Amino acid sequence: MTRKPKIMVVEDQMLIAYELVELLEAHNFEVVGPFNSVAEAKAGIKATPPDAALLDINLGGQETSEPLADLLMQMKLPFAFLSGYRSAGRLAQRFDAVNLVRKPAREDKLISLASSLTAQ
């Protein structure tokens, strides 16, 4: 039996996060999270290392998921950014070949993104 792919969800708006969690679980992913801050996500990665991650860029207030992206790069774990900011491209540019998905994202797009990330 093959193991379910593990994907981490980082999103500060939990309404959006839980819908994403439900969607991913319905498509046979195991979700790590959802986490709404860098600190919680870091602890989460330690406890249950994911295969890939979906990161909302802005985590409320001044915090962004940039430090998580750095950590995931170090760990060589694939990830994609989710954001409603048009300027989000500037952060995404810092990370080579990283996906940037605009919010609100379509379900089929999110699922194919999650599949391709966890297949890497």
Partner 1 sequence: MPHRIRISAQDIVNIDDDKERRQAAALLASELGVFEYEPQQDRAFWDDRVHELWGMPRDQTFTYAEIMATTHPDDRALVEQKYLDVLDPNGHRHFDHEYRILPRDGSPMRWIHAKADCKFIGNTPVRLVGTMQDVTKRRTAEARAIVLVDELEHRVKNTLASVISLAALSSRGHSDLDTFIDGFKDRLHSLAHAHDWLRVNDWQPLEMKRLLEEQVGNLFGGHTTPITTEGPDTLLEAHHVPTFSMALHELLTNALKYGALSDKGGEISFTTSTSDTQIEIEWREKLNSPLATPVTRKGFGRFLLTQILPSELSGKADLEYAVDGLRFTLTYPHKRT
105/83 Cα distance (integer angstroms): 9
Q: Contact, 7 vs 20, CB < 8 A?
A: no
Q: How far is the CB of 54 from partner 1 (least distance, A)?
A: 13
Which residues ranging from 74 to 103 are in contact with partner 1 (CB under 8 A)?
Answer: 83-87, 102-103
Distant-in-sequence, close-in-space partners of 24: CB < 8 Å, separation ≥ 6: 7, 9, 31, 110, 111, 114
Closest CB to partner 1 among 14 and 75? 14
What dihedral angle (degrees, nearest 10) is formed by the CA atoms of 99, 49, 36, 76? -30
Nearer to partner 1, 58 or 65 (CB): 58
Query: Which tokens hold the place of 44?
Result: 């989460």
Residues 11-30 that bind partner 1 (CB under 8 A): 12-20, 22-23
Site size toward partner 1 (CB under 8 A) is 28
Binding site for partner 1 (CB under 8 A): 12-20, 22-23, 34, 36-37, 39-40, 58, 60-61, 83-87, 102-105
